[in-house]
Chain A
Amino acid sequence: GQSLEQPSEVTAVEGAIVQINCTYQTSGFYGLSWYQQHDGGAPTFLSYNALDGLEETGRFSSFLSRSDSYGYLLLQELQMKDSASYFCAGLFSGGYNKLIFGAGTRLAVHP
């Protein structure tokens, strides 16, 4: 199968670090993406990991471990504007590449 699991909600305070985990089923898996979506907005792409390891882009980092079928998004120096929903999405091939999304993690950042 092709599905992804992530926590439904995470709460943190400004300035803190938060990690959002994502596990996936491996059938046809190519890589893992992360998206951010603010209320009322469209999802926007944050990162993509095809290889094991950590990818850093400013305050956000994304990690993938293919052997553990697991990845995470790490958000540092949290700001109020980071309050949003975060989706992991697996790139899978069943002949043609398609992206399957997790149910999303709602991050609430408090002062």
Chain B
Amino acid sequence: DVKVTQSSRYLVKRTGEKVFLECVQDMDHENMFWYRQDPGLGLRLIYFSYDVKMKEKGDIPEGYSVSREKKERFSLILESASTNQTSMYLCASRSTELNTGELFFGEGSRLTVL
């Protein structure tokens, strides 16, 4: 089974702190994604990566950056956390070989910024 692991289930940070959210997948998937999920807004795409060291902005990239130095790991970085970044963050991976809309999600990281 594909496993997508997010490093922290719950985080509490202060405004202005730098925050790292880590995601690791074990199925050699090329594509990896970071979404945030807020009530009534669904899942909104922050950034995605189609291969190592490659990244593309999603719909809401402002205030975030990403890093993909190794194929299995995709990190989301909040350079200076703000209260409006309090949210559930979901990492996902996808195989390009299958070319379907199937994403495998991690359990999520719930971030609270005080």
Contacts and interface: CB of A to CB of B under 8 A. Distances in A.
Question: Interface on chain A toward B: helix, strand, loop, or mixed SS?
Answer: strand
Interface residues of B, number: 27
B42 A98 contact: no
A74 interface: no
Interface residues of A, number: 27
Nearest to A8: B40
Interface of A: 8, 30-33, 35, 41-45, 48, 50, 87, 89-91, 95-104
Nearest to B91: A42
A48 B101 contact: yes
Contacts of B74: none
Contact of B42 (A42, A91, A103): A103
Interface stretch (B17-25, B76-84, B104-112): B104-112
B100 A43 contact: no
Contact of A89 (B41, B48, B101, B104): B101
Contact of A45 (B45, B103, B106): B103
B59 interface: yes
Contact of B100 (A48, A87, A95, A98): A48
B48 A98 contact: yes
